Structure 1
Amino acid sequence: MVRALTSTVIASAVCAVLSCWLVLIGWSLMGDAVSHAVLPGVVLAYVLGAPFALGAVVFGFLAVALIGVVRDTSRVKEDAAIGIVFTTLFALGLVLISVTPSQTDLNHIIFGNLLGVDTSDLIQIGVLGAITLTLLVLKRRDFTLYAFDPTHAHAIGLNPRVLGAALLGLLALTAVVALQVVGVILVVAMLIIPGATAYLLTDRFGRMLVIAPSFSVLAAVTGLYLSYHLDTASGGMIVLVQGAGFTLVYLFGPRHGIVGKRLAKRRREVARAG
């Protein structure tokens, strides 16, 4: 339980910080694509005895390259290209799992196995999480400028393509960090919900980088304890708590919540009438 709690906190914090940029850039679908497309890379890395992160990064970039090729060389639009590529690669991963002889159950890559985290898994999660978080913090200004205005970033000497590729590489690493916690299927939720929730609570990006991981860690710990006491799937419960938290903010957020905006509008109408 201690290892599960530690890995949950690390994965949720790293996913939440990256989610801030994904939400701003509008890469929700891309996050979904990369998180699913890393599955065959992780399986092949297991077969070859290579680090999971290596296979994930290779297939993450492969997915992005294939999406670009399909989009630029055909009439197919980007959203359709993303759907075609990530589902095909995800299916390839499922086939590889089904034909790979293994002494361990590789299905935990798909669905997660939080309570099965051992010391080596925890070390991998910690190292990859530290690398990803450090790079995001060190390059946060460049990534933020790229998210808001890539044209201006290019004008001051930054390379938007390199910054985009770096974010995608970090996205692949983050997917590996969260695989053990919630599995491939639910990784995208941890990569989108915290940033989207923080986006509804503040208009300042610096505050988003604080609110998102705080919300994500709180939801993850709450979900883990609920899954323990209710005897439910830990990964699913973590994401469910995050979804419930987003719903509350969406409805009752002080500035952008649906109910809050209606109440504020009614107060303004009353004040004008008075």
Structure 2
Amino acid sequence: MRVLVGGGTGFIGTALVQLLKARGHEVTLISRKPGPDRITWDELARSGLPCCDAAVNLAGANILNPLRRWNEAFQKEVVSSRLETTQMLASTISKAPQPPKTWILVTGVAYYQPSLTAEYDEDSPGGDFDFFSNLVTKWEAAARLPGDYTRQVVVRSGVVLGRGGGAIGHMLLPFRLGLGGPIGSGRQFFPWIHISDLAGILAHALEARHVQGVLNGVAPAPTTTNAEFAQALGAALGRPAFIPLPTTVVQAIFGRERAIMMLEGQKVVPRRTLATGYQYSFPKLESALKAVVA
């Protein structure tokens, strides 16, 4: 299969590209910089979609980059890096003389409203109560194609755990020093997925023709709270994890609006993902964290 991947040089993209190549697929990246086996976004806008069997978009600025202040300029970058790339791919797909058979977009579980009691599956409502849920709604709308020639899949990802990047990259040092602990109250749900499983779900969605619509990209383990996650990460590292990160500190570092992503959470279940026949490599948190910190 010839697969076109937008944003394929990031943390998730690198894992996906490795897996697709290992499965014998041919991968072309869409990137800001030219290079071998890649085209630039400018080339895509100019020349249209190259011949491919499937397209995946993973592009988007890292929202939780602690080095970036949550100001108007960064908010615009977060929105445009998602919406513009998605709109461009959707537009070039719909105009292609031979459109790809499959089109996959990765968004986030921020679509669902944070709650300490509600449980969300792929059919649950959401998408219009804060900055991030509105962003996911617009992002998914930008990907929609007319007609049914191209099979369309949206994967709403939880927090991605993996070596060498993602959320865990910022957590490891304090936890290794014994300074880790729950964020805020620790009672908020923490929907997570191992990087191997997110790449696995995407490859499964590319290869299995019966898969379509929304899939929740979260682990099927009994839902985890932030405090339970902190305890499990401390245990995997053999370190205590009792020092909480107060709400006020999180808000000071990330800004009040962005801090919601860490201080509040959603109980999300991958009902449809499991129903499609995907089998998880890391369904439980303890084994996922052991693999990450090994």
Higher strand share: 2
Structure with a larger share of its residues in helix: 1
Per the TM superposition, whether the score is higher than 0.5 is no
**Which structure's CA Rg is the greater one?**
1
User: What is the TM-score normalised by the length of structure 2?
Assistant: 0.26
TM-score if structure 1 supplies the norm length? 0.27
